[in-house]
Copies of this chain bind each other. A is one copy, B any other.
Amino acid sequence: MAANGHTNGGVAKESRFDPNFTQNVINATGPKATPRFRKLISSLIKHVHDFARENELTVEEWMAAIDLVNEAGKMSDDKRNETQLLCDIIGLESLVDEITFKLAAETNDAATASAILGPFFRHDAPILENESSIVDNVPDGEITYMHGIVRDLVTKKPVEGAWIDVWQASTNGLYEQQDPDQKDCNLRGKFKSDANGHYGFYCIRPTPYPIPYDGAGGKLLTLLDRHPYRPAHIHVIVQKDGYKPITTQIFDKKSKYLEDDSVFAVKDSLVVDFTPLKGNPKAELELEYDLVIAPQGV
């Protein structure tokens, strides 16, 4: 038997590819898949297939993408998540953050805006007293007193006992877990708001730094002809039982890269002024920043 030739079937010239293929793949999903997973994977299959057809993706291009993703997986570990970084570079983490925030804020829009977590959060940051410092041996750091009131979105009253997690990179652009020369948990701390809702600590004025570009993320940036820099920022998470947690970043208004953040995380309401501080020998600058949290269910 000589079998050859491909079947063109009823495919019209304008849809040169099999019009049923994608639906067939979607329909293969079994009855025990959860409704949410079925929705997600059906949509993902449709978008991925449309992407391939619209661009007439070649085997070589597809394999190059697979190589990059495999490389990202191999590089990822407890201290580094390169696949997350690839997503960040194409704006996906910031978009998922926007979706999360918009959904949480549908009935209100006055809680502190959110921003991406990023890959450098640690669950084991040291618990520190208010008015203490997170800075160890950063000679060129401009010491800043950051403080404010944690408020309830509805009552506007101060919230006591809220946990405020903060972390920032050093002036060399590295977080402590990236940098063997920094003390463990340098520039990282967890504070608790007092009876007046007050929190306060000493940090450094943040400086811009590049996201890691020695791996798959760097290759993607090179292909994109983009720089790896992020504007200067301080990471903050606010949590309190009975309230919706907030993950955010606060950006220095004078920083470079506010307009072209490599991971697209800047929001106008998160850009703040660092002002000169007088009469406090412990710091050169002040950053007053109130944190507004919404009760659960609002």
- Chain A: residues with CB nearer than 8 A to chain B? 1-8, 16-18, 21-22, 24-25, 28-34, 37, 39-41, 43-45, 47-59, 61-63, 66, 69-76, 81-84, 87, 90-103, 105, 109-113, 117, 148-149, 223-226, 250, 260, 264, 267-273, 288-292
**Contact A71 B70, CB 8 Å, known A6-B101, A103-B56:** no
A1 with B52: CB separation less than 8 A: no
Which residue, A1, A43, A72, A100, has most C-beta atoms of chain B within 10 A?
A1
B96 with A4: CB separation less than 8 A: no
Contacts of A30 on B, CB cut-off 8 Å?
224-226
> What's the nearest-Cβ distance from chain B to residue A56, in Å?
5
B6 with A267: CB separation less than 8 A: yes
> What's the nearest-Cβ distance from chain B to residue A197, in Å?
12
**Contact A290 B28, CB 8 Å, known A43-B55, A90-B48:** no
A132 to B105, CA, bound (A): 71
A43 with B51: CB separation less than 8 A: yes
A270 to B6, CA, bound (A): 9
B92 with A49: CB separation less than 8 A: yes
Contacts of A40 on B, CB cut-off 8 Å?
55, 57, 61
**Contact A21 B264, CB 8 Å, known A52-B92, A110-B4, A225-B29:** yes
Contacts of A50 on B, CB cut-off 8 Å?
47
B70 with A260: CB separation less than 8 A: no
8 Å CB contact of A91 from B25, B37, B226: B25
Contacts of A105 on B, CB cut-off 8 Å?
6
Contacts of A49 on B, CB cut-off 8 Å?
91-92, 95
A95 to B48, CA, bound (A): 10
B87 with A2: CB separation less than 8 A: no
Contacts of A18 on B, CB cut-off 8 Å?
98
A98 to B105, CA, bound (A): 45
**Contact A95 B6, CB 8 Å, known A58-B100, A70-B72, A73-B69:** no
B224 with A6: CB separation less than 8 A: no
A74 to B58, CA, bound (A): 25
